[in-house]
Amino acid sequence: MTQAIEDLIKTYPDLEVCRQDLEESCAILKNSIRSKGKLLICGNGGSAGDSEHIVGELMKGFISKRPLPEEMRQRFRDAFPEEGDFLADHLQGAIPAISLVSHSALITAFINDVTAETVYAQQVYGYGQETDTLLAISTSGNSANVVRAVQVAKVLGLATIGLTGRKGGKLLDLCDVTIRVPRELTHHIQELHLPVYHALCIALEDEFFGSPKPKNAAESRLQQKNKIRNGLYS
């Protein structure tokens, strides 16, 4: 059992139907990062914003501060005796993640020269390694450019996770795991996507960096619930 998922479902009980898929997604992501892989993320519109948001939570401290280990700090001191401590003090542990929606020059050139339908697929082809995971976000599960990205990921041997609404669309059968939040209207689906991916980010951070330990488990759960409700995970 992943504590972040348990706390998520306690806060949003209707996500109980997603429990198995959430746990499997956590396992896939942990295995990928443990194997020196990275997370690639894509989506359109609000889901593009979510892609950026997830990278922001993973590539720097989220709940934990993630200070550099002493061995790495010493490497900076050895390389730059006068500035090593500054560098080490102002860097944080990172979980490698790339938003495929961010590269405007590449995206616009590819859409103009080739086709919009494979704009994410091209990036998966260029970045993707077998240890990586692709997180494909689509409220309908049918977004053509997201589906194409998953198809390329599967050919290259990446793990694939879909994040959709209730029906799942094409991603349901295409992805290794598809988290289908129990909503059907786009904005309602997006409202549940945020706490879902926050929980996944928390689970990864706790796995690789540990999380701050409050006085007891009950206090930990209460703090997390309050932060999710108040939108403080940003």
Q: If DSSP codes are grouped into helix, strand and coil, which group holds residue 158? A: coil
Tell me the per-residue pLDDT of 192-222, one tens digit each, with 9 for 90 and over.
999 999 999 999 999 999 865 444 444 454 4
What pLDDT, on the 0 to 100 scale, is given for residue 210? 87
Nearest-CA neighbor of 130 among 20, 26, 40, 27? 40
Nearest-CA neighbor of 14 among 172, 181, 150, 188? 181
Tell me the per-residue pLDDT of 116-158, one tens digit each, with 9 for 90 and over.
999 999 999 999 999 999 999 999 999 999 999 999 999 999 9
Are 190 and 172 spatial neighbours (Cβ–Cβ below 8 Å)? no
Instruction: Please work out, in degrees rounded to the nearest 5, the angle formed at the alpha carbon of residue 41 by the alpha carbons of 188 and 226.
Output: 50
Q: Is the pLDDT at 225 greater than 60, yes or no?
A: no
- Strands laid side by side in the 97-99 sheet: 97-99, 39-42, 133-137, 159-164, 177-180
Are 43 and 208 spatial neighbours (Cβ–Cβ below 8 Å)? no
Confidence of residue 224 (pLDDT cuts 50, 70, 90): low
> Where does 18-162 have alpha helices with state H?
19-34, 46-58, 70-79, 84-89, 104-113, 119-127, 144-156
Q: Is 174 left (phi over 0), alpha (psi -120 to 50) or beta?
A: alpha
Place of tokens 């198809």: 151
Which tokens belong to 191?
């409202």
